[in-house]
């Protein structure tokens, strides 16, 4: 009986996740199309500008350097992923800060980020880079 309840719970969780993903796709599709069209227009204008600015054969032979490389086209997959990340983010301007769970270095104690805040002192999180 316990296995059946666990299986039903797992099925419910997966169904909820699937419905959330489907709703996100429906809501994001118009934004995605608009962004894709904007990127296509930008690429089209960049290519058109390059074609109009191309030197003739005589000019090209006399010039020591070639034309600047064209801007690589935007990836629609990257656009979709960016739109989806923006839609599901938990931090929004004017709303409360997210308070995710963190695990201390010893791996034993679990706390929330805002548990480290003290009084009126601001809590600063530094996500540095070593590059």
CA angle 14, 87, 23 (to 5 degrees): 45
103-128 average pLDDT score: 85
Contacts of 101 (CB under 8 A, 6+ apart): 110, 111, 112
What pLDDT does residue 55 have? 61
Task: Report yes or no on 15 lying in a domain.
Answer: yes
Q: Is the pLDDT of residue 61 over 60?
A: no
Structural domain range at position 35: 1-54
Task: Tell me whether residue 25 is in a domain.
Answer: yes
> Is residue 88 classed exposed, middle or buried when 0-12, 13-18 and 19+ CB atoms within 10 A define those classes?
exposed
107 located within any domain: no
User: Is 50 inside a domain boundary?
Assistant: yes
Q: How far apart are CA 123 and CA 115, in angstroms?
A: 10
For residue 102, tell me if it sits in a domain.
no
- pLDDT value of position 11: 83
Q: Based on the structure, what is the number of domains in the chain?
A: 1
Tell me which residue of 23, 46, 34, 44 sits closest to 76, measured CA to CA. Answer: 34
Residue 44 covered by a domain? yes
Section 27-38 average pLDDT = 84
Mean confidence (pLDDT) of the chain: 77
Residue 111 counted as domain residue: no
Task: Tell me how far apart the alpha carbons of residues 115 and 129 are, in angstroms, rounded to a whole number.
Answer: 24
């Amino acid at each position: 009986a316990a296995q059946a309840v666990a299986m039903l719970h797992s099925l419910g969780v997966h169904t909820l996740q699937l419905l959330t993903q489907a709703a996100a796709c429906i809501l994001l599709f118009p934004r995605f199309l608009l962004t894709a069209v904007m990127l296509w227009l930008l690429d089209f204008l960049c290519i058109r500008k390059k074609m109009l600015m191309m030197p003739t054969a005589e000019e090209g032979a006399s010039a020591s350097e070639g034309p600047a490389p064209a801007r690589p086209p935007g990836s629609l997959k990257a656009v979709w992923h960016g739109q989806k990340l923006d839609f599901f983010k938990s931090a929004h301007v004017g709303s409360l800060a997210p308070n995710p769970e963190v695990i201390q270095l010893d791996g034993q104690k679990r706390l929330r980020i805002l548990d480290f805040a003290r009084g009126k002192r601001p809590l600063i999180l530094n996500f540095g880079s070593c590059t």
